[in-house]
Amino acid sequence: MNITILGAGAWGTALAIALAERHAVVLWGRNASAMRAAAARREHVAYLPGFTLPDHLGLDTDLAASVAHAGKDGLLIVASSVAGLRPLLLQLRQLPSCRLPNIVWLCKGLEEGSALLPHQILREVFGDAVPGAALSGPSFAQEVAQGLPCALAVASDDAALRERVVAAVHGGAIRVYSSDDVVGVEVGGAVKNILAIATGASDGLGLGLNARAALITRGLAEITRLGVALGARAETFMGLAGMGDLILTCTGDLSRNRRVGLGLAEGKSLDAIVAELGHVAEGVRCAEAVRALAQRLGIEMPITAAVAGVLFDGHSTRDMVIQLLARTPREETA
């Protein structure tokens, strides 16, 4: 199958490496100098150093040519951040004589300002003209590039597109499960990043494994409350895009969002932490949007609110802990 991946960050590059073993893959990036360097060295030093790019993996900076490679029967996979999703979709819409068979997105989060999920952004740009699917789940880019096993979930209202994504991505060390609960898969992928900041801060403060387990468990309850309010099915959050991704991001040392929490616990400024990461930590951008959305819907999300307080309201990580411990006892099912 012809596959084009739009976005040459760590995750886009890792997936391109994995899929190039079985498909004709083109990886598009907007940074011409970085892509030339990657092509010359067969290594994307800027975002995924230490991993060899297969000789048969195409690298391109021509958006129209890259999209044309996928064709009407291939896959177009968008590997941008949520912030970059709308601008890239608008670029795609402006391509002359370009037929987009489908769009699969890897980004996890809510758009700043609008608080829209990725499928809602796609609908605003293209209406119902272009089928779309979310590909999510517990997956660190470095491990995927290394060929280690992982399992993902693809969600779409379009059954044929789900089947096409499974046919393309499932294989080798990657398993893919399908779902029609797009909202549930997207909410799980978005909110888990915020909770990873909380668990990183807790671990950085030395609060112990009991506290980490409590944050993950009660965080899952927050994800579920928000998701169900937006129309998702509660059982989705017990799967890969919910509990699976939450556990990985909250506990894995490769998690950028967890590292934000660890840095906050050390007393570092958010700007310094982000500069050290050198990559997008979606939980930072997402926290304010989710807090505002929860308030608008009348949903209690105390961990999310506490994280947003640290990131944007000048609260300390100690304040966050005190705020959460001072909450009134309640039924666990609530």
Active site residue 72: no
Residues of the chain with CATH 1.10.1040.10: 183-325
Domain over 2-180 is classified CATH 3.40.50.720: yes
Longest dimension (CA), the chain: 60
What is the token pair recorded at 160? 């044929």
| Cα–Cα distance for residue pair 295/292, rounded to 1 Å | 5
Section 241-270 average pLDDT: 96
Residue ranges of alpha helices (H) inside 205-279 are 209-229, 245-251, 256-265, 270-277
What pLDDT sits at residue 172? 94
Give the HSE-up count for residue 18: Cα atoms under 13 Å, Cβ half-sphere.
27
Please write the tens of the pLDDT for every residue from 21-53: 999 999 999 999 999 999 999 999 989 999 999
- Model confidence at 97, pLDDT cuts 50, 70, 90, reads low
What pLDDT sits at residue 117? 97
Q: What is the DSSP letter of 267?
A: T
Q: In what order do the strands lie in the sheet with 150-155?
A: 58-60, 24-28, 2-6, 75-78, 103-105, 132-136, 150-155, 174-179
What are the CA-CA distances from residue 218 to residues 92, 103, 259 (Å)? 40, 33, 20
| Cα–Cα distance for residue pair 257/280, rounded to 1 Å | 9
| Residue type present at position 193 | N
Q: Which of 98, 18, 97 is nearest to 54 (CA)?
A: 18
Please write the tens of the pLDDT for every residue from 149-163: 999 999 999 999 999
What pLDDT sits at residue 103? 94
What pLDDT sits at residue 183? 98
Please write the tens of the pLDDT for every residue from 273-295: 989 987 778 899 899 999 999 99
Question: Does 99 score more than 80 pLDDT?
Answer: no
Query: What kind and span of H or E run contains 78?
Result: strand 75-78
Question: What average pLDDT is seen over the chain?
Answer: 94
What pLDDT sits at residue 251? 97
- The pTM (predicted TM-score) of the whole model is 0.94
What are the CA-CA distances from residue 175 to residues 30, 151, 237 (Å)? 30, 5, 18
What is the token pair recorded at 102? 């489908």
| Cα–Cα distance for residue pair 80/86, rounded to 1 Å | 10
Residues of the chain with CATH 3.40.50.720: 2-180
Candidates 72, 108, 192, 268; catalytic one: 192
Name the fold adopted by 183-325. Answer: N-(1-d-carboxylethyl)-l-norvaline Dehydrogenase; domain 2 (1.10.1040)
Neighbouring residues of 313: CB distance < 8 A, sequence distance ≥ 6: none
What pLDDT sits at residue 214? 94
| Cα–Cα distance for residue pair 161/274, rounded to 1 Å | 36
What are the CA-CA distances from residue 201 to residues 89, 98, 151, 267 (Å)? 35, 46, 27, 10
What pLDDT sits at residue 334? 57
Range of lowest pLDDT (67-81, 95-109, 162-176, 255-269): 95-109
Range of lowest pLDDT (129-133, 193-197, 211-215, 321-325): 321-325
